[in-house]
A and B are shown apart, each in its own frame.
Chain A
Amino acid sequence: MDHITFLVAVVIVTALAFDFTNGFHDTANAMATSIATGALKPKTAVLISGVLNLAGAFLSTEVAKTISGGIVNDAKVTPAMIFAGLVGAILWNLVTWLVGLPSSSSHALFGGLIGAVWVGAGSGAVNFDKVLEKIIIPAFASPVVAGVAALVATYCAYKLTARGRADSVTKGFRLGQIGSASLVSLAHGTNDAQKTMGIITLTLISVGALPGDAGPPVWVIFSAGLAIALGTYIGGWRIIRTMGKGLTEIQSPQGFAAETASTAVILTSAHMGFALSTTQVASGSILGAGLGRRLAEVRWGIAGRMVAAWLITLPCAALVGGISAAAVKHGGNFGTVVVALVGAALAAGIVLLSRRNPIDAKNVNDGHEVAIRSTPPSHVGTAA
């Protein structure tokens, strides 16, 4: 194990920390509507989602062979850049969690990496064509597709079941939601846990601790799966509230339609090789389901802020990643320690700020007036 340098150890810990934030940021994608409609109790929902994420991590052996899917030139990526990119992604995930906005963890990761690689190896190491093809276009297309699918399906579900009695219809769709939400969680585990495993494995390969064609060691699979499952179980209640209660009032037929649409879009595009953001798909589905029942039900103010967060996620994470990369590049191990400490301090600050207005399993469904702070706290803003 003498290959494991200080920097590599820091990268591994940071990657697991990112995996954890990825988990609690994305619990909402699968479970927000089930919690909002009462199909599952909040604690049960996050438990199921956590277990399925862990299972998903073990099920899929198809580990990402590249860190980024060709978005940056993997040959020029060093552990230091990966570390800097991860710091950017983690901080952005925490800021958006604090304000309760569902933004894409994948975009945060890609953004952080792009920024770090740009600073570390020059703009030539970033494939901007791939950025457009793999990130920008799916980012615009996937929520629209999911939204249209959910809209049509919701409309038909209400038309068809209009002559049924409300209580048995609600009960039926609630049962269906458990299945559809579980499928979203499982798909999430097979995708997002893989990203962290890929990052750790490639870091180990780059320093010679593993042979070039090695798959992830069992401890990597286990720790990555555990990190994302724990994050999911802790639950990003702020984001769950925004998605389940903030965007629109969700009833069980809508929840079922939205989750079915999310699953369909995620699975078909994964099958066709499109990388996309689970978060954006799920948000698009929920908006579509809101429109399918009644146009006025959608709170466009919150939806607008959410879309704004999507647009700035990649550049913001890239900025933090770039700044961190500059510090690590010029400061060596000392710079790494400084970035790690500053990052940890900011993360602790965000968690402390969240305590002022805690949201957990008990009050996640209270009221529908969701207060979203439009500006991030100042000390985070200056650091980003």
Chain B
Amino acid sequence: MSIDWTALGEVTAVSIGVTFAVVVVFSLGVLGLDRREGARERGGTSAVGAAQAGLCFLACAAVVAYGIYLIVPQFH
């Protein structure tokens, strides 16, 4: 019997890394959205907030697209 510890380690590292990255980026996106809404309530606009939210959510969408790519074997 051979247990592939390297593969197990890779799964661990990649899973934790990806989760951490996605959640942090998404949190930043949520903060950007929050800043934009805050500015709007005060009657102004926050281009920085909107850009931050847009970029972060785009990055998350890219990760989701890659996830779908992994799920569907026809794409490989």
Contacts and interface: CB of A to CB of B under 8 A. Distances in A.
Interface string A265-289: 1011111111000000000000000
A190 interface: yes
A370 interface: no
A261 B34 contact: no
B43 interface: no
Nearest to A132: B1
A216 interface: no
Given A152-B20, A179-B64, A265 B15 contact: yes
A270 B71 CA distance: 9
B15 A264 contact: yes
A148 B24 CA distance: 15
A157 B74 contact: no
A7 interface: no
Interface in B7-50: 7-8, 10-12, 14-16, 18-20, 22-24, 26-31, 33-34, 37-38
Nearest to B57: A176
Contact of A168 (B7, B18, B27, B34): B34
Contact of B19 (A132, A133, A260): A260
B10 to A, nearest CB: 7
5 A-B pairs with least C-beta separation: A172-B30, A153-B23, A149-B19, A164-B34, A129-B1
Given A150-B19, A265-B15, A161 B71 contact: no
A172 B67 CA distance: 21
Contacts of A154: 23
Given A129-B1, A256-B23, A272-B10, A149 B15 contact: yes
A148 B16 contact: yes
A271 B70 contact: yes
30 contacts: A56-B71, A133-B1, A137-B3, A137-B8, A148-B16, A149-B20, A150-B19, A160-B27, A160-B31, A161-B30, A161-B34, A163-B31, A164-B31, A165-B37, A172-B34, A173-B26, A176-B26, A187-B71, A256-B23, A256-B26, A264-B14, A264-B16, A264-B19, A265-B11, A267-B70, A268-B10, A268-B14, A269-B11, A270-B70, A272-B11
Contacts of A60: 71-73
Nearest to A258: B19
A172 B15 contact: no
Contacts of B15: 145-146, 149, 261, 264-265, 268-269
A361 interface: no
B53 to A, nearest CB: 9
Interface residues of B, number: 36
B34 A169 contact: yes
A124 to B, nearest CB: 16
A176 B15 CA distance: 18
A354 interface: no
Given A156-B20, A165-B37, A183-B67, 5 more contacts: A133-B2, A145-B12, A187-B71, A260-B23, A267-B67
A59 B73 CA distance: 8
B68 interface: yes
A59 B24 contact: no
Contacts of A186: 68, 71
Nearest to A156: B24
B20 A145 contact: no
Contacts of A161: 27, 30-31, 34
User: Considering residues B2, B22, B60, which has the most beta carbons from chain A within 10 angstroms of its beta carbon?
Assistant: B22
Contact of B38 (A133, A149, A165, A190): A165
A263 interface: yes
B68 to A, nearest CB: 7
Contacts of A265: 11, 15
A134 B74 CA distance: 26
A153 B17 CA distance: 9
A77 interface: no
Interface string A244-263: 00000000010011001101
